[in-house]
Structure 1
Amino acid sequence: MATTQRIGPYSVVTRLDTSTSAHTSAPVQPPAPERRFIARSPDGDRTVLLSAPLPKADPGRFMAEADTSRYLLGPWVLPAVELAAPGGEAWHARPYVPALPLPTALAVNGGPLPERTVLALAVALAEALAVLHGQELAHAGVCPAAVLLAADGPRLGCFGAVRAAGPDGVPRWGAPGLDAASLPPEQAAGGQPRPLGDVYALGATLAYAATGHTAPERGELSAVLRSLVARCLARDPAHRPQLSDIIGELAPDSRTAVPAGDGWLGVGWLPARIVAAVAHQSASVLAAEVQLSP
């Protein structure tokens, strides 16, 4: 009988980022900036999304960013709720939400997402980042793999997991296996993460959702997405839109940016294949929980 993998006190049920090579028509998946698992607590009572740093990443930086994430606000973020004890193996846990990483969702869908889904992502992620910036923080790790698609809306994770401290203490793009296409040019040049850098990364992530890659040709995007993505990907941060402008353009009549019911995240916001895959994940995890329970 196979030995159950354990990380900290948790028993791993499955990896969150799974290979979908069987979907030969799907886009190539950009890497995740951390190792992510669905896991169970020792008493079999709780299911969590558990993250650990990549093998060559700085565990101290990883844990510092995870600690900061505990204080993040907003409905579309997944802050850490439990951290590894100091001096031990680095990991952090968040409440489990049945969801697919954005690259996996494209693979399951067999290609890019519909415009409605991408626009819903734009509004929800812009709202999440606006709240974060209001807390005087920058995410610094927005990329396709950082976005999880759940039935009721997206979740944004991987807060700062892409950062690694340089010799002068300035956070730099240094951890292994990361999606450098989402990195703002000013941060690639060694600058500190800034809110307008998150806007650039948001544009690259939306481009990926709509086309399967982060630097699409103009003809690959609809008119509304072409304008939005192009402005977000401006090399000069001063030419990028404010998050409030993005929300105002796409949800002008909404006080909360993403209302329930007939809003962007209403029924049908996700393609049927992705909805089915999320439901299958939830059922599979439930079945595995029975086996792992004491």
Structure 2
Amino acid sequence: MAAFAPLASGDPEQVGRYRLVARLGQGGMGRVYLARSPSGRVVAVKVVRAALADDPGFRRRFVREVAAARRVAGFFTAAVIDADTKGRPAWLATEYVPGLSLGEAVAEHGAWPEHAVRRLGAALAEALGAVHGAGVVHRDLKPSNVLLAADGPRVIDFGISVAAEDTRLTQTGTVVGTPGFIPPEQLRGEKAGPAADVFALGAVLAHTATGTSPFGSGAAHAVNYRVVHEEPDLGGLPPRLAEVTARCLAKDPDRRPSIPDVLDDLGQPAGHVPHGPLPEDDWLPGPVAAAIARVQAALPPLGAAPATTDDETTATVVSGSPTAVTDGHARPFLTRRRLLTGLSATAVLAVGGVTALVNGGGSGEGEKPRSAAKLRQLWSRPLADGLSLEEVANGMVYLCSEDQGTIQALDSGDGGRRWQRQVPGDYTMITSVTGGTLYYGSGDHLYAADPDTGETRWKFKDHSLHMGPITVGEAAYSHFPGLFVVQDAGTGEPLWSYELGDGTTEDIAVADGMVYAHAGPVLHAVEAGTRKGARVWTHRADSAAVTRPVVADGAVYFGSRDGTLYAVDARTGKERWRRGFTGRLWDPRIANGAATPVVAGGVAHFADSAYVSAFDAATATSLWRHRTAAEEVDVLALTTGTVLFTDPNGTL
């Protein structure tokens, strides 16, 4: 729900005249940022990744499609405000919609009643009419590309998927789009016109009315097969709505209704559809309207420019368990998913170049604590050619250049280069270092390499999804949309998979012979290993999970959308306890999800608004609560007798 992630190392601070504030998301075309104009207007800025922008064919299509998108003037579309199609990077700025996506709304609050689906469908049809009238075909209409605001939905990314077609990145048989919403003609490699968007609209209507895709879930190839060869399952729809949806989902594009026909079928003749705001109490289900209000209330303050102190970016890595980072531009560097760990001694790694410092006078065991650490520089190394710090593990520092396709490994002790590889393909990224294997993605493949030498062990075609496997024993576990896949860690051969369905989170946990993964509010426990895993148990929370599962002391801990932390018995799935939290950020009107707890030694630590709390991990009994001077804090890790946390200004 309106997830804002802090800017990370390597993110630009300004694009054109727009000051970037936070990350909103990432896709095949590039990254999307929350930004503000010089006058303070809030916008969404999509920055095209260099691998695409360097393709002359893409550049030509991008220029043409941005020009067409500027002409789209429908109320139910997120308008293009500004763009630079020739810059490095190329980018475009659109209206920012402070709401949640239709996909999130359905996953969190369930299927919609018929009248609400009809009003939604009419507004989306009007949006598509405006898009088609500008000479553009969307080609990727789906629940996540529909943003819900109190005054109506907004279709986003119109026209851009067309620009991403027909480049060297999509000429290998890969189809651009989302399984279940891609029309049969596009899957067959035929031309996709406006009727393709009508098909996707039908799939969106069915998903909204039932909570599931009319073509089921599972592996992409299986869903795509059903789209081409089988009829949709519309049994859960009211009869009149099922009839409209079935016409939209016709296999033959010539048999699908036009946009005016869709409006008429939905009981909204084209001449009577409002070309402005929808009344909130007339179209949104009550729980969804309340959720949108919470998102609007939780919008981070954007009025003042963030304070800056210098141009250096400094990452602090403490050996053993904790990792914490600050930088001169007042944004946490490591509140991203991966934490950098593994430097020998008590070390500090500064990135702006890379500089390694060692604690020359901190407290050892039995010594009295000192007020400040004394540091001396071990080594420094400038970062050139777009290289950025990605992982620190097993005495190595791993750097990567996303656009140049370079991966470099340094010795964390002396900064010497251990190896460097030039990777084939585009959009190169290190995804994980685990179980004695370095994983990285490039092009449409995931690679497994020896972390000490960089030698490739195997590669696997993952269609540019580039997940970060967890290697345990002989098996590597990777999360994909709707399922997780298990491969032979030595050869990359797929061994088995487990379907999770809609609403899956990115993270899984593997511990004590079990795999733990979330799908919406349901936690799945599955047997781990190289043989096909069997489901052991499931646990259903009151709202969707928003954190990774944390396994400790025989329990699985996780946080949910409504701000509740859960502890579930890892063996049986029986709920041990749940705990809600108080404070400004957990006010029921603006709650935006619980944080991941840090559990060690039978104690769970948790950041709640301006407080750091500790409670008994077995019983949830409160042990202590510390009020910080910041408005909001985030617990990162624990070291002996110490809790490390940061505030939004990047202070550790």
Q: Which residue in the other structure is 2:100 paired with?
A: 100
Counterpart of 2:238? 222
TM-score by length of 2: 0.38
- Correspondence for 1:45 among 37, 40, 46: 40
More helix by share: 1
CA distance in 2, matches of 1:135, 1:3: 34
The alignment status of 1:269 with 2:283, answered yes or no, reads yes
Q: Is the 8 A contact 1:76 1:124 kept in 2?
A: yes
Tell me which amino acid in the other structure corresponds to 1:36. Answer: V
How far apart, CA to CA, are the structure 1 residues paired with 2:146 and 2:255?
A: 25
Residue 281 of structure 1 pairs with residue 281 of structure 2: no
Contact 1:7 1:91 in 2 (8 A): no
Q: Which shows bigger deviation, 190-199 or 264-273?
A: 264-273
Q: What SS is found at the alignment partner of 1:182?
A: coil
Task: Report if aligned partners of 2:68, 2:135 keep a CA contact under 8 Å in 1.
Answer: no
* Residues 86-145 of structure 1: per-residue CA shift (max 9 Å, x gap): 131232111223221211222332x22232221111111112222333344322222222
Change beyond 3 A, Cα 1:171–1:265 = farther
Query: Matched residues, percent identical?
Result: 33
Name the structure 2 match of 1:113.
112
Normalised TM-score (structure 1): 0.78
**Residue type at the aligned position of 1:243:** I
Q: Distance in 1 between matches of 2:249 and 2:49?
A: 28
Look up the equivalent residue of 2:103 and give its one-letter code.
Answer: P
Q: Does the 8 Å CA contact 1:40/1:48 hold for their aligned counterparts? A: yes
Question: What's the CA shift for 1:249?
Answer: 2.8
> What's the RMSD between the two structures over aligned residues?
3.5
Query: Could you list the runs of 5+ residues in structure 2 that have no partner in the other structure?
Result: 1-5, 216-232, 308-652
- Compare CA radii of gyration and give the structure with the larger one: 2
CA gap of 1:34–1:113, structure 2 versus 1, over 3 A, is farther
In 1: Cα distance, 2:197 partner to 2:71 partner: 18
The residue matched to 1:141 in structure 2 has which SS?
coil
2:195 paired residue number: 196
**Whole-angstrom CA distance in 2 between matches of 1:47 and 1:40:** 5
Q: Which residue of 2 aligns with 1:182?
A: 181
Instruction: Write the deviation string for residues 202-225 of structure 1: whole angstroms up to 9, x where unpaired.
Output: 111112222233325232111122
> Equivalences for 1:1-294 in 2 at 5 Å?
5=11, 6=13, 8-9=15-16, 10-16=18-24, 35-41=31-37, 43=38, 45-53=40-48, 60=59, 61-62=61-62, 64-84=64-84, 86-109=86-109, 111-163=110-162, 164-166=164-166, 174=174, 178-215=177-214, 217-252=233-268, 255-258=271-274, 265=279, 267-285=281-299, 287-290=300-303, 292=305
Mapped contact 1:13–1:288 kept (Cα < 8 A): no
| CA distance 1:259–1:161, change in 2 (3 Å) | closer
Q: Contact conserved, 2:244 with 2:265, CA < 8 A, in 1? A: no
Q: CA deviation at 1:53?
A: 4.4
Cα displacement (A) at 1:70: 0.8
Greater share of residues in strand? 2
Tell me the CA shift for residue 47 of structure 1: 0.5
One-letter amino acid of the counterpart of residue 219, structure 1: G
| 3-state SS in 2 of match to 1:289 | coil
How many aligned residue pairs are there?
275
Secondary structure of residue in 1 paired with 2:272: coil
Cα deviation, residue 13, structure 1: 3.8
Distance 1:167-1:278 versus aligned 2 partners, 3 A rule = closer
Distance 1:275 1:33 in 2: 31
Q: Which moved more, 1:124-133 or 1:6-15?
A: 6-15
Between 1 and 2, higher relative CO (CA 8 Å, sep ≥ 6) is seen in 1
CA distance in 2, matches of 1:157, 1:91: 15
